[in-house]
A and B are shown apart, each in its own frame.
Chain A
Amino acid sequence: MLPNRSRTSVLVFLLPPLLLYCAAVLFPILQSLFLSFFSWNGISDMEFVGLANYIRMITADDIFWRSFFNALLYLAICLVLQLGGALLVASLLTSLRRGRELIKTLYLLPAVISTVAIAFLFVRIYSIDPVGLLNQLLHWVGLGTFERAWLSDVNTVLAAVSAPEGWRFTGLYMLIIYAALIAVPKELEEAAVLDGASKWTLFTKIRFPYIRPVWITTTIMATTYGLRGFDIPYLMTNGGPGQSSELLTTYMYKTAFTSTDFGYASTISVFIVIECLVAVGLILFMLKRKAD
C-alpha cells in the first residue's frame, strides 16, 4: 500500500475502468438474467413469464438439446486438437536444436488471421465442386471413397466446422506449454535420466507434473474459448444443414436476431454462462483432486 495514498486517489484510478467494465460486461450479464424471465420481441410490451422460458428450454426444445450436445462435441474436438497438438509439438520442440523460433512463429500464424478469412479458406478446402484440398488429398492417397461435400453431409459437418477452430489456436497453446516445459529444471531431468528413466517416464513423471499449473490455465482457456465458439460455424454453415452444426451460441444468436425472441435468447445466454462456470469449476476440481 502506498504510504500517502488517499481514498480519492483510489477512486480516481478505480472508477473509470470499473464503469466501462460494468457498462460492457457486468450490467449486461445481470440484464440477461433479468430478461430471461420475460417474453419480449423488442417492440411490444415486455411480459413477465417467470420460469416459463427455462421450462421450455429444458423440457420442450429439441433444438436446444441438439445444440448443447453439438457444442460439447465441438468442444471435445477443439480440445483434442489444441491441447493435444500443443503438448505434442511443444514436447517435440524441446528436443530440437535449431529452428525453434521459426517453428514457433509459423505455428502461431493462423491465430493472427480473422475467423472470416479462415471460414472462407476452409469452405474452399472442404468443397467438392470445385474440388477442394481435402477431397483432392483423399483422392491422391487412394482414399477416394471418402470424398464428399464435408459441409453438406450431416454426418461430417460438425467435425468439419470444429477443426478450423482447433487448428487456428493450437500455436497459441503450444507457445504457452513450451514456455512451461523449458522452465522445468534441468537437474531434475538429468537426475531422472541417470536413474534410467525413459523418455516416456521422463514426460509423465517429471515434465508433466511440473507444468501442471500451466496445464490447468491452458485447459481453462481452451475450454472457455471452445464453449464460446461462434464465428466459424456461423459463417461456414449457419448451423446447418438442418441443425447438424448448430451450437448453443449460434442458436442463441438466431433466436435473438432472426426470431427476435429476446427473452428466450437471454435464457439460452444464461445457460451458456452457467455452462462456462460449471466447466471451469469442474476442471479445477478434477485437476486439483488428481494432484493431491
Chain B
Amino acid sequence: MIAQTAPAAPPTTLPPTPTIKRRRRKPSLYRTLSRVLIMLIVIVQVYPLAWLFLTSLRTEHDFATGDPFALPSSLTWENYARAFETGDLGRNILNSFIVTMGANVLIVLLGMMAAYAIQVLGFRLSRFVRGLFLIGIIVPVQIALVPLFIDYSTVNLLDTYQSMIIPLAGFALPMSIYLFSSFFEYIPRETYEAASIDGAGPYRIFGLITLPLSLNTVVTVVLVNSIFIWNDFVFANTFVLSEELKTIPLGLQNYIGAMGKVDWTATFAAVCVTITPLLLVFLVLNKAMIQGLESGATKG
C-alpha cells in the first residue's frame, strides 16, 4: 500500500545536481562590498522620499519641537486636511489630468501617424523629415518660451489648457515618433503585402494592422511622457496665470506662505497627495515602464 501511494505524492526530494554544482561559495569580499554599496546608494536615493512621507504624518508641534528626523511619536492625518484647505488640490489634480490626457492623445496619435508615414509608407524626403523631428530631441524647451508667449498672446491662447498641451505635445513628439518607428521596423513586410493583395489601402492597414499591433508601444509612450507632462513646471508657469487652470506643480507653490513662512507638514502632505497618482501608476506598471525606457534608449 505504501508503495502505491508514494508515487502520487509530489516529488519532495531536492534536485540533486545543484548541491554538487553550486558549492556553498564563501561570500567574497567583492560581493559583500558591492552589496553594502548598493544598499547605501539605495538609501540615499529613497530616504528623502520616506522622510517626506513620514513628515507628512507628524503633528506640526512634534515636527517643530521634536527631532525632525526621529520616528514620529504619533501619526495624524490632519496635515492632509490642512493641505486640502490651504490650496486647491482637487482642482490642481483635475487640471493636471486634463493636460496629461490631452497631450498624450496628441503624442500617441500624431506620433504614430508620422512614424507610419516615415517608416511604413515612405517617401522621397523621409530622411529629411526624420532629421527635422530629431531637432526636437536635442533642443531645450526654454527656446520656445518667448516666441510662444508672444504668439499665444496674439491669438488669445494664453491662460488656456491648449497653451500647455501644444508645446508639451510638440516637444514630446520626436521621441514618440522615434519609438514608434523603431517598433514599426519589426512588423514584417509580408503582413502589409498580404493585406494589400486582399485590397486594403494605407488607411485600413494603419487601422487594422499597425495600430492594434503597437499597443505595447503606446503604453510605453504614454507612461514615459506622462511623467514629464504631469510634472511640467516651465510651460505651466509661463503660460498660465489664473488659479483655476493651475496644475499640480504650480499649485504646490501656494503652500509657501507669505513672508516665506512654510507650513512644512501640510506642504509635505500636499506633495504626497500630488505624487500619489503617478506613483501608483508607476508601481503597478513599473515593469512595462522600465522595459519601455530600456528598449527606448538601447535601440539608439
Residues of chain A at the chain B interface (Cβ within 8 Å): 1-7, 9-10, 12-14, 16-18, 20-21, 23-29, 31-32, 35, 42, 85, 88-89, 92-93, 95-96, 101, 103-117, 120-122, 124-125, 130-131, 133, 136, 167, 170-172, 175-176, 178-180, 183, 199, 213-214, 217-218, 220-221, 224, 227-228, 230-231, 235, 249, 252-253, 256-257, 262, 265-266, 269-270, 272-273, 276-277, 280
The answer to whether A89 touches B41 (Cβ under 8 A) is: yes
Q: In terms of DSSP, what is the predominant structure of the interface of chain A?
A: helix
Residues of B within 8 A of A131 (CB): 68
Any chain A CB within 8 A of the CB of B186? no
Contact with A along B230-266 (1 / 0, CB 8 A): 1101100010000000001110110100000000100
A113 to chain B, nearest CB (A): 5
Residues of A within 8 A of B166 (CB): 20, 23-24
Q: In terms of DSSP, what is the predominant structure of the interface of chain B?
A: helix
**Can you list 6 A-B contacts (CB < 8 A)?**
A17-B177, A24-B167, A25-B136, A92-B38, A171-B45, A217-B300
Any chain A CB within 8 A of the CB of B148? yes
The answer to whether A262 touches B146 (Cβ under 8 A) is: yes
Interface residues of B in 25-64 (CB under 8 A from A): 30-31, 34-35, 37-38, 41-42, 44-46, 48-49, 51-52, 64
The answer to whether A85 touches B294 (Cβ under 8 A) is: no
Comparing B7-15, B81-89, B270-278, the segment that makes contact with chain A is B270-278
Residues of B within 8 A of A121 (CB): 48-49, 52, 271
A247 to chain B, nearest CB (A): 10
The answer to whether B117 touches A10 (Cβ under 8 A) is: yes
Residues of A within 8 A of B143 (CB): 28-29, 32, 269-270, 272-273
Any chain A CB within 8 A of the CB of B183? no
Q: In the bound complex, what is the Cα–Cα distance between A144 and B286 (angstroms)?
A: 40
Residues of B within 8 A of A85 (CB): 41
Residues of A within 8 A of B144 (CB): 24-25, 28-29, 32
Q: In the bound complex, what is the Cα–Cα distance between A81 and B293 (angstroms)?
A: 19
Residues of A within 8 A of B138 (CB): 220, 224, 276-277, 280
The answer to whether A114 touches B203 (Cβ under 8 A) is: no
The answer to whether A272 touches B140 (Cβ under 8 A) is: yes
Any chain A CB within 8 A of the CB of B213? no
Any chain A CB within 8 A of the CB of B141? yes
Q: In the bound complex, what is the Cα–Cα distance between A227 and B123 (angstroms)?
A: 35
Contacts A3-B193, A252-B142, A256-B145; A26 near B132 (Cβ below 8 A): yes
Q: In the bound complex, what is the Cα–Cα distance between A31 and B146 (angstroms)?
A: 9
